[in-house]
Chains A and B, each alone.
Chain A
């Protein structure tokens, strides 16, 4: 497959001779191309070769230039990696979001994090940096240092040059002393708080307004802002929903509240330390992320993981899928008012977590993976415990399946809600259970088996409902498949060592690894330069490509279906944003208030609007309430 594609590329574009390589099976890598040739190639691949699925866009810092790496694939699932550059002085690159709908978020990231000017990108809310982020600050460029950034005031200060300080050190010492004296003697703790409160600017009325709706409010159109506090799952995002009656006419999605800058943090730490950062990208699919990261490092270091370690990775991975899907089932039940299901499935989830605690050592971030293998072994006693738990879960999950298939209330509530057809899934690049519910057998464990999945083939679960009901069925059936895989892996568990040694310095190169996380395809990119720290780490979590179809899913539905539609893609905001800004979207830019300050602020807020809170007679209100 790969070689056919390479020869077709070279026949069509003779200038690509020697620039196209098959870096490993299922990967075709094209060297850096000038923008005009790059555009010709990608349009030709999209139109003639039908490479219509956009996986990822990665920005890199190449010194004088900005690099853009595009990953696309077609029906035969070979990922083609295309690269182009733009100088930092004129960082313009055309938007490909017309060609690949799934590139919108990735290209917004290029604008925010690298300062690229993506021409033709559709307008929309900013992503992923906070609204009050200073202009001209692009954190993922190499010259941007996190230690120079003050999060309280949201300003970036270049470090002062040592030569510039020509002032007399004695004079400076006296000044510092006087200042210290003034602070301690004249201003007490109370007085300091008071000044801080007076100096604090009140929010600008214009800035405090909600973002403009996509559709102007007509006679019968109402705009409802949902979020950012816990719109469906307990995670932040905003949905500006335009309604006509109860029907959703338009939806604008605002995400990026959870940007923690993990990718930047990874660049200044060693490979071993990064493992724990990557593990904390997401609380649910922590094992999938570390597996992908470890596989990247192992591929670059050229080591082979012992078979026993691969089997243990599979077992933990499948248990993670079990607990993730059980969690989702509970949340979905909660969203539709079926709280009994929520209690039951979360009770079962605890059984899985108990096993994972014993197996890994921690309840959520198990830390079972290490570079070159796994850290803990499964002893026969634990294997027995796992099998016992699997027997218990099988009966429970079969009961849930029966419930989902036969209960008329559940079917009536979920069928036809949040429809994303097969064609739309391909257009928006949906992944994981969302795509599988539309009949696309998109499962990395089958397309590109890794680790122990090479020995134990996976039966991919698909469905043709293409709605929330289908996604429920797919997830429940996948749990049964996971149980089968765990039993099979425990039966075939080979003997041998658990780890191989991985050097601290990783040879230069780049790795692109796909892993099937519970929510879909998880794609990691790692570039090494021969030192003990990575040059660039890019985590493309599965939720990030499921967001693009969300607007389409919401439009045409009803307002009461919005929470379950959002929950149905099993969104993980921290996965998507990867990166916490404590001062994030606060209208009081750059201030963290304590209780007292918050109270003072609220009193002032009311006074400004002509309400004197001290005059409100509370006893009267209490008497009326009685």
Chain B
């Protein structure tokens, strides 16, 4: 028995003509990079979101970050905090460990993934 013997259903003449017509009028499977609309599942890991009002400045996220991508700076005083978070998206591996570690849960992982930039310095962003 050879598997090359086609199944009865597969011998219909013109069976692939439907696919040919479909391909003629359908959009391409690829997405244009700038301007193209793409959807990523909400559960995918992307850029993190940071809430400076909740942050207590414990620095655990900096300690646990495997690549040292996140930096939390307090520009105010101990009593009157002015928290800023900086992320080097070139270093970030999108593991989400900072969100797991954060005792106040004010770092949240989003599915934002459009982060490319023309310069290396442009990859360093303030959250």
Chain A residues in the interface with B (C-beta under 8 A): 269-270, 272-273, 275-277, 357-359, 361-362, 365, 367, 370, 375-376, 402-403, 406-408
Residue contact B44 to A362, C-beta cutoff 8 Å: yes
CB distance from A363 to the nearest CB of B (A): 8
Residue contact B1 to A367, C-beta cutoff 8 Å: no
Can you give 30 contacting A-B residue pairs, CB < 8 Å?
Answer: A270-B63, A270-B64, A272-B64, A272-B66, A272-B97, A272-B101, A273-B64, A273-B65, A275-B66, A276-B67, A276-B95, A276-B97, A277-B66, A357-B41, A357-B43, A358-B43, A361-B43, A361-B44, A361-B45, A361-B94, A361-B96, A362-B44, A362-B94, A365-B95, A367-B96, A375-B100, A402-B3, A403-B3, A406-B1, A407-B4
Question: Per-position contact with A for B94-113: 1 when CB-CB < 8 Å, else 0?
Answer: 11110011000000010000
Quick one: given A272-B64, A273-B66, A367-B95, are A358 and B2 in contact (CB under 8 Å)?
no
Query: Chain A residues with Cβ under 8 A from B64's Cβ?
Result: 270, 272-273
Quick one: given A276-B66, A277-B66, are A406 and B95 in contact (CB under 8 Å)?
no
Residue contact A276 to B100, C-beta cutoff 8 Å: no
Among candidates B2, B63, B109, residue contacting A361 with C-beta atoms closer than 8 Å: B109
B93 within 8 A of A: yes
CB distance from B69 to the nearest CB of A (A): 11
CB distance from B90 to the nearest CB of A (A): 16
How many angstroms between the C-alpha atoms of A362 and B95 in the bound complex?
8
Residue of A whose beta carbon sits closest to that of B42: A358
Query: Chain B residues with Cβ under 8 A from A376's Cβ?
Result: 43
Query: Chain A residues with Cβ under 8 A from B4's Cβ?
Result: 407
Among candidates A275, A277, A367, A407, residue contacting B2 with C-beta atoms closer than 8 Å: A407
Residue contact B44 to A357, C-beta cutoff 8 Å: yes
Interface residue total, chain B, C-beta cutoff 8 A: 21
Quick one: given A276-B66, A362-B94, are A367 and B3 in contact (CB under 8 Å)?
no
Question: Per-position contact with A for B42-81: 1 when CB-CB < 8 Å, else 0?
Answer: 0111000000000000000001111100000000000000
How many angstroms between the C-alpha atoms of A415 and B15 in the bound complex?
35
How many angstroms between the C-alpha atoms of A358 and B65 in the bound complex?
23
Residue of A whose beta carbon sits closest to that of B45: A361
Query: Chain A residues with Cβ under 8 A from B97's Cβ?
Result: 272, 276
Residue contact B45 to A407, C-beta cutoff 8 Å: no
CB distance from A136 to the nearest CB of B (A): 31
Residue contact B2 to A408, C-beta cutoff 8 Å: yes
How many angstroms between the C-alpha atoms of A275 and B67 in the bound complex?
12
How many angstroms between the C-alpha atoms of A424 and B4 in the bound complex?
36
Residue contact A362 to B45, C-beta cutoff 8 Å: yes
CB distance from B124 to the nearest CB of A (A): 20
Residue of B whose beta carbon sits closest to that of A354: B41
How many angstroms between the C-alpha atoms of A270 and B4 in the bound complex?
56
Chain B residues in the interface with A (C-beta under 8 A): 1-4, 41, 43-45, 63-67, 93-97, 100-101, 109
Residue of A whose beta carbon sits closest to that of B94: A362
Query: Chain A residues with Cβ under 8 A from B109's Cβ?
Result: 361
Residue of B whose beta carbon sits closest to that of A362: B45
Residue contact B41 to A367, C-beta cutoff 8 Å: no
Among candidates A276, A370, A403, A406, residue contacting B93 with C-beta atoms closer than 8 Å: A276
**Among A275, A276, A407, residue most surrounded by chain B Cβ atoms (within 10 Å):** A276
Residue contact A358 to B44, C-beta cutoff 8 Å: yes
Residue of A whose beta carbon sits closest to that of B109: A361
Residue contact B66 to A367, C-beta cutoff 8 Å: no
How many angstroms between the C-alpha atoms of A362 and B94 in the bound complex?
8
Residue of B whose beta carbon sits closest to that of A367: B95
How many angstroms between the C-alpha atoms of A361 and B4 in the bound complex?
40
How many angstroms between the C-alpha atoms of A376 and B64 in the bound complex?
19
How many angstroms between the C-alpha atoms of A76 and B127 in the bound complex?
56
Q: A276-B93, A402-B3 are in contact. List 12 more A-B contacts (CB 8 A).
A: A270-B63, A275-B66, A276-B97, A357-B43, A358-B41, A361-B45, A362-B44, A365-B93, A367-B95, A370-B100, A375-B100, A376-B43
How many angstroms between the C-alpha atoms of A73 and B96 in the bound complex?
39
CB distance from A379 to the nearest CB of B (A): 10
Among candidates A269, A359, A406, residue contacting B66 with C-beta atoms closer than 8 Å: A269
CB distance from A435 to the nearest CB of B (A): 29
CB distance from B41 to the nearest CB of A (A): 5
Among candidates A276, A277, A367, residue contacting B45 with C-beta atoms closer than 8 Å: A367
How many angstroms between the C-alpha atoms of A375 and B100 in the bound complex?
8
CB distance from A391 to the nearest CB of B (A): 19
Residue of A whose beta carbon sits closest to that of B68: A273
Residue of B whose beta carbon sits closest to that of A382: B43
Query: Chain B residues with Cβ under 8 A from A269's Cβ?
Result: 66
CB distance from A373 to the nearest CB of B (A): 11
How many angstroms between the C-alpha atoms of A277 and B94 in the bound complex?
13
How many angstroms between the C-alpha atoms of A180 and B97 in the bound complex?
42
How many angstroms between the C-alpha atoms of A359 and B3 in the bound complex?
36
Query: Chain A residues with Cβ under 8 A from B3's Cβ?
Result: 402-403, 406-407
Query: Chain A residues with Cβ under 8 A from B94's Cβ?
Result: 361-362
Residue of B whose beta carbon sits closest to that of A359: B43
Residue of A whose beta carbon sits closest to that of B63: A270
How many angstroms between the C-alpha atoms of A273 and B100 in the bound complex?
13
A-B pairs, top 3 by smallest CB distance, nearest first, are: A361-B45, A276-B66, A273-B66
CB distance from A365 to the nearest CB of B (A): 8
Query: Chain B residues with Cβ under 8 A from A277's Cβ?
Result: 66
How many angstroms between the C-alpha atoms of A289 and B118 in the bound complex?
35
Query: Chain B residues with Cβ under 8 A from A272's Cβ?
Result: 64, 66, 97, 101
How many angstroms between the C-alpha atoms of A408 and B3 in the bound complex?
9
CB distance from A293 to the nearest CB of B (A): 13
**Among A273, A357, A407, residue most surrounded by chain B Cβ atoms (within 10 Å):** A273
Query: Chain B residues with Cβ under 8 A from A365's Cβ?
Result: 93, 95
Query: Chain A residues with Cβ under 8 A from B41's Cβ?
Result: 357-358
**Among B63, B66, B109, residue most surrounded by chain A Cβ atoms (within 10 Å):** B66
How many angstroms between the C-alpha atoms of A33 and B69 in the bound complex?
45
Query: Chain A residues with Cβ under 8 A from B96's Cβ?
Result: 361, 367, 375
How many angstroms between the C-alpha atoms of A72 and B123 in the bound complex?
49
Query: Chain B residues with Cβ under 8 A from A362's Cβ?
Result: 44-45, 94
CB distance from B104 to the nearest CB of A (A): 17
How many angstroms between the C-alpha atoms of A367 and B94 in the bound complex?
9
How many angstroms between the C-alpha atoms of A504 and B63 in the bound complex?
12
Query: Chain B residues with Cβ under 8 A from A357's Cβ?
Result: 41, 43-44
